[in-house]
Amino acid sequence: MNRNQLFATAVLLLCHLTYAQADFVKDSTATLTTRNFYLNRDFRQSGAPQAKAEEWTQGFFAEFQSGYTDGTLGFGLDALGELGIKLDSGPGRRGTGLLPYGPNSKQPADDYSELGLTAKMRLSRTQLKVGTLMPIHPLAYYSDTRLLPSTFTGAYLTSSEIDDLTVTAARLTEANGRDSSSNDDISYAGQSSDHLDLLGGEYALGKNLTLRYHHGELQDIYRQQFAGLVHVLPLGQGLSLRSDLRYFDSNDIGVGKAGKIDNRNFNGMFTLSVGAQRFSAAFQRLSGDSMFPVIDTGTPYVVNLVTYNTFTKANEKSWQLRYEYDFAALGIPGLTFMTRYVKGSEIRTPTVRNGSEWERDTDLTYVFQGGALEGLNLRWRNVTYRSGDGLTQKLDENRLIVGYTWKLW
């Protein structure tokens, strides 16, 4: 569905809602989120195209979600508006992912924006959304790691008619990147496709075990299958072990500009929660002749997706150790800490046979719990990344993020 068809659908839906408001109005919500984002990336390798990437931006994200009209078949309408504003940047400091810049210009844009509408329909426990989407899906996960979230355009259906089983079917046709104002054809590695089709489901075996399977096909580019398992094992008061296992099988269905795709990716994370502390260990093992494919503007759904890197290069094997602490246990609610280390090896590229890389991250977050600043979120993210054995990228990075959400109604 293109943008003109979407707006026509929204107008017709609003006309219908004039005569059947009821829960459409009563159950509606509206929020405004602001995000102030500073990113400084210092390149340490010799011969880097630029010494650093440094930008400071202010973002606004407004979201309206309606309820549904009365009756067996309920209708609703959602809307979102995004605005990103440049506070400080320059041609020699661009490239952080916070601001767009044209292919023929090194000057970052002063601002960028998006308006999206989503028509929705509900029948029993089945819901269909058509328009602007932010899917949380193993094969099409939107990105919210910069100033503004990325979005997709398409149709997305979820159904829970059978107890404990959630079925998902979708067709995505366009994508808008996290630093873009335009909706472009959905693509991989710069090769456009007409659509991405998704079909799958998740089944809960009791309250502690969920089995997952999803199939995706990016037309004329690749086919991808995902199987997963999530299990939580209670071990006592304040003590539990969570296991999250994921497997992807990806193959091309037409070798074009994107090149040959042949990849298997088995990864998982085990997390032990002990009161206010969490200890995690993760692994990621890739095999095949290519890197792990992810649609452009999407986010790879893998456990070693960390602040800067994804550890999804061809043949890469990686592991992660992670520690988290909630200072509420020491009488400081709202303050949390996280640190992790990820190491990857056996990377293959056209020029490298045994490349390696590692990343160390530290996050410190505080959310004000009361007073005039209640809900204000402060975050500092620190990154150190190094690669070697034929790979030469090295960087140190800091991100400072201030966010706040107003509930308008």
Domains contained in the chain, CATH given: 1-185 (2.40.160.10)
Q: What is the pLDDT of residues 264-309, one digit of tens each?
A: 999 999 999 999 999 999 999 999 999 999 999 999 999 999 999 9
Average pLDDT over residues 184-209: 95
**Which residues lie below 8 Å from residue 390, measured CB to CB, with a gap of 6+?**
349, 351, 352, 353, 354, 355
Average pLDDT over residues 320-345: 98
Average pLDDT over residues 371-383: 96
- The whole-number pLDDT of residue 234 equals 96
Q: What is the pLDDT of residues 97-147, one digit of tens each?
A: 999 987 777 899 999 999 999 999 999 999 999 999 999 999 999 999 999
- The whole-number pLDDT of residue 257 equals 75
CA 77 vs CA 135, 241, 404: distances in Å: 17, 40, 25
Give the other-Cβ count within 10 Å of 119's Cβ: 21
- The whole-number pLDDT of residue 9 equals 54
**What b/e string do you get for 60-97 counting C-beta neighbours within 10 Å, with b at 16 or more?**
bbbbbbbbbbeeeebbbbbbbebbbbbeebeeebbbbb
Q: What is the pLDDT of residues 49-90, one digit of tens each?
A: 889 999 999 999 999 999 999 889 999 999 999 999 999 999
Q: How confident is the model at residue 18 (pLDDT cuts 50, 70, 90)?
A: very low
Query: Could you give the CA distance from residue 73 to residue 131 in angstroms, rounded to a whole number?
Result: 19
Q: Is the pLDDT of residue 19 over 50?
A: no
Q: What is the mean pLDDT of the chain?
A: 93
Q: What is the pLDDT of residues 315-328, one digit of tens each?
A: 999 999 999 999 99
- Of the chain, the percentage scoring pLDDT greater than 90 comes to 84
Are 303 and 282 in contact by the 8 Å Cβ rule? The answer is yes
Average pLDDT over residues 17-24: 58
Q: What is the pLDDT of residues 219-236, one digit of tens each?
A: 999 999 999 999 999 999
Q: Is the pLDDT of residue 15 over 60?
A: no
Average pLDDT over residues 213-217: 98
Return the half-sphere exposure (C-beta side, CA atoms, 13 A cut-off) of residue 191: 19
The three-point CA angle 70-72-75 to 5° equals: 55
CA 184 to chain centre: 18
Q: Is the pLDDT of residue 11 over 60?
A: no
Q: Which three-class secondary structure state does DSSP give residue 197?
A: strand
Tokens read off for 209: 């075990």
